[in-house]
Amino acid sequence: MTTAVQSYRVTPARVLRSEWHKLRTLRSTWVNLAATGVLTLGMGVGISAAYDGTGEGGLDPVVFVLLGTQFATVTLAVLGILATAGEYSTGQIRATMTAVPSRLPVLWSKAAVLAAVAFPLCLWTNLLTFPLAQAFLTDTDQSAALGDPGVLRGLAGNAAALTLLAVTALGIGAVTRSVPLAIGAYIGIVMVVPEVLAMLPYDVVDDAVRYFPSQALQSLTTAQPSPGEATPGAALLALLLWTAAALAAAAASLKRRDV
């Protein structure tokens, strides 16, 4: 009897494997991942093909090519929210927490699995989109090569930022336990609040807005950050803190509230 109990004990590896199984078997996972890749690639190539080279300049070439990742900030966030809040809407969370009564390993495993899926997808999509888009940008002000200073860092930084935003959304989903409410909270924090704060005539507010998620994403995407933006290192640190705060709030919620 003891041997049987030991063979089926809860371990981090088993929790991780369970969360990977749940994520990969959901149709919504593949829909959101496909939308992320297709929209990033399609917009990058489409905008570049239509660009006539008469722009005023000043827009970073990596940001220009990766304009489609604006959609990825939503599609990947929805995927993260469905991984947590989606389980509450279906009632599956009761079975999950019964199997893992300590609860927190479930949260860490969900975050790890999501990050392990999102980062490679975003990175390889960016690495494919950039050279394809640049084929249409020769002899324009947006022409650049993968070997140019800051380009690879910008492509990788964009992938890292999108991954952290997705994990942040996962944490928000665990706190709100509602898909619509989590999506609204995510959009408010990432897209609405910085725009509202930017209208306030205070320098300290302008400085703070630089480190909000959407602005940090742009700073990490640029090959050559402009003087008014946060440095890539500071932007990455800011996003890590946003993600840590969301996961900490989610962890506190899981430990204190009933399922």
Predicted confidence (pLDDT) per residue in 16-73, tens digit = 888 998 888 888 899 999 999 999 999 999 999 988 776 655 688 999 999 989 899 9
Q: What is the pLDDT of residue 188?
A: 92
Q: What is the pLDDT of residue 201?
A: 75
Sign of torsion, CA 221 223 226 229?
positive
Where would I find the H helices in the chain? 2-7, 12-24, 27-50, 61-65, 69-90, 92-99, 104-134, 151-176, 179-187, 193-198, 203-209, 213-221, 232-256
Q: How far apart, in whole angstroms, are the C-alpha atoms of residue 149 and residue 192?
A: 32
Which pLDDT band, with edges at 50, 70 and 90, does 4 fall under? very low
| Residues ≥6 apart with Cβ < 8 Å to 71 | 35, 36, 39, 40, 43
Q: What is the pLDDT of residue 37?
A: 94
pLDDT tens string 124-136 = 999 999 999 999 9
In this predicted structure, the answer to whether residue 187 has a pLDDT above a threshold of 90 is yes
Q: What is the pLDDT of residue 103?
A: 86
Q: What is the pLDDT of residue 99?
A: 84
Q: What is the pLDDT of residue 8?
A: 62
How much is the average pLDDT of 177-194?
A: 92
Q: What is the pLDDT of residue 94?
A: 86
Q: How far apart, in whole angstroms, are the C-alpha atoms of residue 162 and residue 216?
A: 10
How much is the average pLDDT of 123-148?
A: 92
pLDDT tens string 228-255 = 788 999 999 999 999 999 999 999 998 8
In this predicted structure, the answer to whether residue 1 has a pLDDT above a threshold of 50 is no
In this predicted structure, the answer to whether residue 13 has a pLDDT above a threshold of 90 is no
Q: What is the pLDDT of residue 56?
A: 53
Mean pLDDT computed over every residue of the chain: 88
